[in-house]
Amino acid sequence: MLSRINSRLLSVIVLLPIMIACRRTTTHPNSTMQLRLDAGATILVDAVPTLRLSPPAADGRSEGFGEVRGAATLHDGSIAVVDADVPAGFVFSAEGTLSGTFGRGGAGPGEFREPVLVGVIGDTIIVYDPPQRRLQRFLISGAHLSTVELPPIPGSTLLIYALRDGAVLLKRTQFTASPGPDGLVPAVGQLLRVEPASGRMDTLATETDGLWLPRGFRFFSWQFLVSADDSVVWLGRGDRSLVTRMTQQGQSKTSCSWDASRRAVTDQDRAAATTFAQTMRAAPDMTAPDRFSDSMPVFSRLMNDPTGGVWVVAASPPGATPDSAWRVDPACKSIAPIDLPVGFRLLEVGPTHILGVLEAEDGATQVVRFAITRKTS
306-360 tens-digit pLDDT: 999 999 999 998 888 999 999 999 999 999 999 999 999 999 999 999 999 998 8
pTM (2 d.p.): 0.89
The b-or-e profile of 363-372 (16+ CB within 10 A means b, else e) is: ebbbbbbbeb
Parts of the chain with a pLDDT under 50: 1-29
pLDDT of residue 12: 46
The b-or-e profile of 48-63 (16+ CB within 10 A means b, else e) is: ebebebbbeeeeeebe
pLDDT of residue 19: 27
pLDDT of residue 28: 40
CATH of the domain at 291: 2.120.10.30
Beta-strand runs (E) in 143-230? 144-149, 156-162, 168-174, 185-195, 200-212, 224-228
pLDDT of residue 21: 29
SS3 content of the chain, % helix, strand, coil (to 5): 10, 45, 45
Virtual torsion, Cα 72, 74, 77, 82, nearest 10 deg: -40
pLDDT of residue 26: 36
pLDDT of residue 13: 45
The residues that bridge with 172 in the sheet, in sequence order, are 157, 190
Q: Is residue 115 part of a domain?
A: yes
Q: Is residue 1 part of a domain?
A: no
pLDDT of residue 107: 95
In the chain, how many domains are there?
1
Which residues, in sequence order, are CB contacts of 152 under 8 Å at separation 6+? Answer: 19, 133
Q: Is residue 305 part of a domain?
A: yes
Distance CA 157, CA 170 (A): 6
Report the alpha-carbon angle 196-198-199, nearest 5: 60
pLDDT of residue 39: 82
Q: Is residue 72 part of a domain?
A: yes
pLDDT of residue 9: 45
Q: Is residue 2 part of a domain?
A: no
Give the neighbor-by-neighbor strand order of the sheet with 88-92.
Answer: 68-73, 79-83, 88-92, 98-102
pLDDT of residue 57: 76
Distance CA 129, CA 55 (A): 21
Structural domain range at position 44:
7-374
pLDDT of residue 75: 92
Radius of gyration of the chain (CA): 20
